[in-house]
Copies of this chain bind each other. A is one copy, B any other.
Amino acid sequence: MPLSLSNGHAVCVSLRNVHITSRFWIGRASAVREGALTAIYQQLKDTGRWDNLKLKWKEGDPQKPHRFWDSDIAKWLEAACYSLIDHPDPALAHLVEEAVDLIRGAQQEDGYLNSYYTVVEPGKRWTNIAWSHEMYCAGHLLEAALAHHEYTHSTRLLGPILSYIEHIKTVFGPDMQQKHGYPGHQCLELALIRAYETTQDSSLLSLASYFVEERGRKQPYDKNSETVERHYYDVEADARGEDAFVGPMRRRGDRFEYMQADKPIQEMANEGIRGHSVRAMYWLTAVAGVARLTGDSGLGDAVRRLWENTTEKRMYVTGGLGAVGEWEGFGPDYFFPNETGYLETCAAVGLVFFAHQMLLLDSFKPIYAEVMERALYNGVLVGMSLDGKGFFYDNPLATVEKDMQRSEWFEVACCPPNFSRLLGSLGKYIYTLTSSDTIYVHLYISSVMELKVSSGRSVKIRQDSDQWKGGSTFTLTGDARDLKRLKLGLRRPAGVHKWEIKVSGVDHSNYSINAAATLLYLAYNTVDASATTLSVTVAYDYTPRILRPHPLDSENHGCIAFAKGPFIYCLESVDNSGIADLRSVRVEPKEDIEECLDVEAFKKWDLQVVTLRTKGSVIREEGVERDVELVLVPYFAWANRGRSDLRVWLPVHRGDGMVNSFASNT
């Protein structure tokens, strides 16, 4: 058993024991399987990434390898393994084993494993960890190896990768003769935590913990026989005779803020999260994990403060992160530009990881699950087209002149496989379990799951949730003694008015209710003490609702957004063909929004969605207005039906004839 239980923290469930039955999510997963995994593999082949693992590239050859290429293979491999757990596919399985062979073949005798530094810059290993992506690639290889182990139970990949980690452990650490560095692009830290939870090898947790503690600290450094305090990235840059900081935030006088390495995490917690948003999410995921597994309460407090800053002040309404494209990262608090916002798909994926780690750290905080759900259904899901073959890297909340289209691939190819690996492992995020047999329900996704409770026996939970109307039924099957002891933690979804719980076959259940959740002591007093099945029905309503911006959100002053259940809605030109420019739309903030189950709009992809209809008007320069019926679709579904514009926040009509131009500006 992992340390976590003795600390009272929650544990994660195994993917093998989860089967998603939600029609909505089965559709999304099959798009990954049938679209994305094939499309990404083809790109890995075509761009030379796949075959580069054969280490045959020579100077002058085309397709010069890039430092992060190994990570692209690894992310695809991870996603493919997850997919194979539930959906056997001999052709895909064959490719997976080919990738495993290639990776094994690329490993050097001393355990080192990085195709770029082996073929392009041999002899320069570990000389530039600030920018080399070496540890980032190692992290993704480790995550892929863990997924491969989960899928095959074999150590054919995990073994070699763990020996690569052994090599890294000899190079980096606190000893005098070791390098006191840490990953330039975070990722290895969280992979080490996952590896520790699989292997129980405490040296993996120690290394993760070392990376977390060392990051941003200055170190005594011997320079011209004088000891000075230096940042490790400066130390290694001095050794190369280069300037350490070459990144995109340099213009702002930043030193390593871009990768959250400018100061130790405790100081960072006082100031808020900054820099590159994907790096930040991977980083905080790892910090939360280390805090949980080591019981370091100071670290726990720091990560809680950074969670609050991230989600209360820097998160878009879609769960997207990163207001500033220039450094793909965070802007100031409450700064949410619509058209120019970056909101990288990978950052929303990272926020799901972070929220999940926070749920493991502090189980009963429904807000973590609410953020996770918001990011998943919106900021993440928008990143892939409905057919699984087109991707968005950045996800603004509004466009003008129909200038955004999904791409088949990106030069920096993180988003497509990252999306795929999250969707492939979605089953992990629905529940967590504590040592005192409380099952927390974080996501209302129809599924069947087996959990091993403290007695050592399994309990099966069948969840039937209505994706569009709201409401869930949980059917628990197991030994009567276990059912009697179980507690069910139920999150009250955001914005619901109704919240009623009924337990069948139970005479008297005990509840503990707060505004955001119910903790249900399931079988406190059962009628039939030997019942092996319990049914819990939770009634809640996914009535459409109106969201308003934060008062300091100056981009969206006077606007509202529409939501229903976990979905944020948007206006898309394709559904509102009479409106030439979506910026001319004005809405009324009335609650009588009509719902319509639309089976036609996305029929091509076998997707049914509920669209919203509301009355609005279109304002024109001459001051003339006309009434229109507006059709809104879930944000994630936009940009699948031809070139279109998008708008999430819509201005409320003010009826004061605000019509003007430069020429008549009095």
Contacts and interface: CB of A to CB of B under 8 A. Distances in A.
Interface of A: 252, 311-312, 315, 317, 324-326, 331-335, 337-340, 367, 370-371, 374, 398, 400-401, 403, 494-495, 545, 547-555, 557-559, 563, 581, 583-584, 619-621, 647, 651, 654, 658-663, 665-666
Contact of A665 (B324, B337, B547, B621): B547
B332 A400 contact: yes
A551 B584 contact: yes
24 contacts: A252-B403, A311-B662, A315-B662, A317-B665, A331-B339, A334-B583, A335-B400, A337-B337, A338-B554, A370-B663, A371-B662, A398-B554, A494-B666, A547-B660, A548-B659, A549-B658, A550-B660, A550-B662, A551-B584, A552-B584, A554-B651, A557-B557, A558-B651, A563-B665
A666 B621 contact: no
Contacts of A662: 311-312, 315, 317, 371, 374, 550
A552 B324 CA distance: 23
A656 to B, nearest CB: 9
Contacts of A659: 548, 551
- Tell me how many chains of this kind the complex includes: 2
**What is the interface of chain A mostly: helix, strand, loop, or mixed?**
loop
A149 B217 CA distance: 60
A483 B361 CA distance: 88
Given A400-B335, A554-B651, A661 B312 contact: yes
A401 B274 CA distance: 13
Given A337-B340, A374-B662, A551-B620, 13 more contacts: A333-B401, A335-B400, A370-B663, A371-B662, A547-B665, A550-B621, A550-B661, A551-B619, A551-B660, A552-B584, A555-B555, A558-B558, A563-B665
Contacts of A325: 326
Contacts of A557: 557-559, 651
A554 B334 CA distance: 17
Given A326-B325, A551-B584, A666 B311 contact: no
Q: Which of A317, A338, A552 has the most CB atoms of chain B within a 10 A radius of its CB?
A: A552
Contacts of A547: 660, 665-666
A580 to B, nearest CB: 10
A148 to B, nearest CB: 35
Given A332-B400, A557-B651, A658 B340 contact: no
Contacts of A331: 339, 400
A35 B31 CA distance: 63
A324 to B, nearest CB: 8
Nearest to A625: B551
A558 B545 CA distance: 22
B558 A660 contact: no
A317 B661 CA distance: 9
A663 B551 CA distance: 14
A337 B334 contact: no
Contact of A337 (B339, B370, B495): B339
Contacts of A550: 621, 660-662
A654 B655 CA distance: 12
Nearest to A325: B326
A400 B661 CA distance: 27
Given A339-B337, A494-B666, A563-B665, A548 B658 contact: yes
A584 B374 CA distance: 26
Given A548-B660, A660-B550, A666 B495 contact: yes
B660 A583 contact: no
Contacts of A312: 661-663
Contacts of A654: 558
A539 to B, nearest CB: 17
A660 B334 CA distance: 12
A367 to B, nearest CB: 6
Q: Closest 9 interchain pairs by CB?
A: A558-B558, A495-B666, A332-B400, A557-B651, A332-B401, A548-B660, A552-B583, A554-B583, A547-B665
Contacts of A620: 551
A495 B662 CA distance: 11
A464 to B, nearest CB: 25
A325 B248 CA distance: 14
A192 B548 CA distance: 56
Contacts of A495: 665-666
A110 B173 CA distance: 65
A332 B580 CA distance: 14
Contacts of A332: 400-401, 403
A573 B659 CA distance: 30
Contacts of A311: 662
Contact of A552 (B337, B371, B581): B581
A151 to B, nearest CB: 36
A13 to B, nearest CB: 27
A27 to B, nearest CB: 27
A608 to B, nearest CB: 25
Nearest to A371: B662
Contacts of A658: 548-549, 551
A659 B252 CA distance: 33
A374 to B, nearest CB: 8
A302 to B, nearest CB: 21
Contacts of A324: 340
B559 A367 contact: no
Contacts of A335: 339, 400
Contacts of A339: 331, 335, 337
Contacts of A621: 550-552
